């Protein structure tokens, strides 16, 4: 190491009480905490990470198995191929999400392309470079939409720690903020419960700490979501109450199926395909049932096929009306706090 760094390195290696005052704090709490927020939790005050609330609402069956029974189901992963891939798997959204996160943080496109082109998941040579360029272009389109949505001039999101006090409980979250304007969330996956609930909860914590301000935004390949959260205390209490119940009771709660139902009803019907309200609800129920048990034309794996649902329900098929009624109680407040609009690609 360089000689001029030695003295500082020795000071940083000392125990905290013995460090020289000139070292200072690694971060200024006033810059990252809202007005009136303390640095540490008072004695006896519990802290709830936002991830625990999100996991309960987005994966209620898995949460009950884990919290009530102490059962964690392993995720099945296919073994890697023996031969080098010529192209990546059809489902490359995880790689695109990694690119999104780096671009949103302000990294340069060329650097991300170069590193992805030599990653183990991509082929060597020209095929790898072509794929990397394609993935980064898709990620850049999502990030550009997010920048435009919040009125920022460029990427460079900063994750700010926020803590909301709620009836003696502290709810903590890291909230990505772009351009100092408002929270912004970008997912490379189609809009689903995990991304929506996560963004809704973090936006509620941000609003509870910061007060009024521009609404948060969530960008997915198919939807643009405006997260308003006009009453963040109510939103967080709702999440806390249901998360506690989900951890205690095995509920026929399937967020993806209910969300498919709600998005279908929220879709503006075409003038040439006007339907009665009864017909629209029947069609939305059928879409929800396809998401729950699977449709005759295949498609995405149904919720009942997930390992946690199979462990709890086995061969039983919950009544779709009961599933939608329970989902309405749990997830309708989420939709009441947001405005969901199809993106241009999806509407086209």
pTM: 0.82
Residue 33: what pLDDT? 46
Question: What average pLDDT does the chain have?
Answer: 85
The two tokens of residue 248 are: 């205690």
**Separation between Cα atoms, residue 136 and residue 92, nearest integer Å:** 12
Tell me phi and psi for residue 131, to 5 degrees.
Answer: -65, -45
Q: Which residue has the tokens 């709660």?
A: 253
pLDDT on residue 27: 45
**What per-residue confidence (pLDDT) applies to 150?**
87
- Higher-scoring residue by pLDDT: 258, 36: 258
Average of per-residue pLDDT across 102-127: 90
Q: How far apart are CA 339 and CA 348, in angstroms?
A: 19
* pLDDT tens sequence across 71-113: 887 765 666 666 666 665 567 898 999 999 999 999 999 999 9
Q: Are 296 and 265 in contact (CB under 8 A)?
A: no
DSSP bridge pairs for 165 = 170
Burial class (CB in 10 A: 0-12, 13-18, 19+), 225: buried
pLDDT, tens digit, 9 for 90 and up, residues 284-332? 999 999 999 987 766 678 999 998 998 888 888 899 999 999 999 999 9
pLDDT above 90 coverage of the chain, percent: 57
Q: Which residues are within 8 A (CB) of 30 and not within 5 positions of it... i.e. 6 or more apart?
A: none
Tens digit of each residue's pLDDT (9 = 90 or more) over 153-169: 877 888 999 999 998 89
The two structure tokens encoding residue 218:
């969530």
pLDDT at 29: 45
Decide if 324 contacts 261 (C-beta within 8 A): yes
> Residue 45 pLDDT > 70, yes or no?
no
Answer for the pair 80, 121: CB distance below 8 angstroms, yes or no: no
């Amino acid at each position: 190491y360089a000689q001029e760094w030695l003295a500082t390195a020795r000071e940083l290696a000392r125990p905290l009480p013995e460090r020289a005052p000139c070292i200072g704090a690694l971060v200024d709490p006033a810059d990252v905490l809202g007005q009136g927020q303390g640095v540490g939790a008072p004695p006896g005050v519990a802290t709830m990470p936002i991830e625990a609330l999100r996991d309960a609402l987005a994966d209620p069956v898995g949460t009950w198995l884990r919290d009530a029974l102490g059962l964690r189901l392993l995720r099945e992963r296919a073994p890697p191929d023996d031969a080098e891939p010529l192209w990546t798997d059809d489902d490359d959204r995880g790689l695109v999400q990694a690119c999104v996160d780096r671009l949103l943080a302000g990294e340069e496109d060329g650097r991300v392309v170069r590193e992805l082109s030599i990653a183990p998941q991509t082929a060597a040579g020209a095929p790898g470079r072509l794929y990397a360029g394609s993935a980064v272009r898709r990620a850049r389109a999502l990030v550009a939409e997010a920048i435009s949505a919040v009125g920022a001039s460029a990427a460079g999101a900063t994750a700010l720690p926020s803590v909301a006090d709620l009836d003696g409980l502290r709810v903590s979250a890291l909230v990505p903020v772009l351009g100092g304007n408002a929270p912004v969330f970008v997912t490379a996956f189609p809009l689903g419960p995990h991304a929506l609930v996560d963004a809704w909860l973090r936006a509620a914590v941000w609003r509870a700490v910061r007060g009024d301000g521009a609404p948060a935004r969530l960008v997915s390949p198919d939807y643009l979501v405006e997260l308003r959260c006009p009453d963040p205390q109510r939103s967080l209490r709702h999440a806390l109450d249901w998360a506690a119940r989900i951890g205690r009771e095995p509920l026929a709660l399937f967020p993806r199926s209910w969300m498919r139902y709600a998005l279908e009803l929220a879709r503006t019907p075409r003038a040439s395909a006007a339907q009665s309200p009864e017909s629209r609800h029947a069609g939305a129920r059928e879409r929800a049932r396809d998401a729950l048990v699977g449709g005759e034309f295949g498609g995405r794996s149904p919720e009942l096929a997930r390992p946690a649902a199979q462990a709890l329900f086995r061969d039983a098929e919950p009544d779709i009306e009961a599933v939608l009624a329970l989902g309405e109680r749990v997830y309708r407040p989420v939709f009441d706090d947001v405005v969901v609009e199809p993106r241009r690609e999806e509407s086209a």
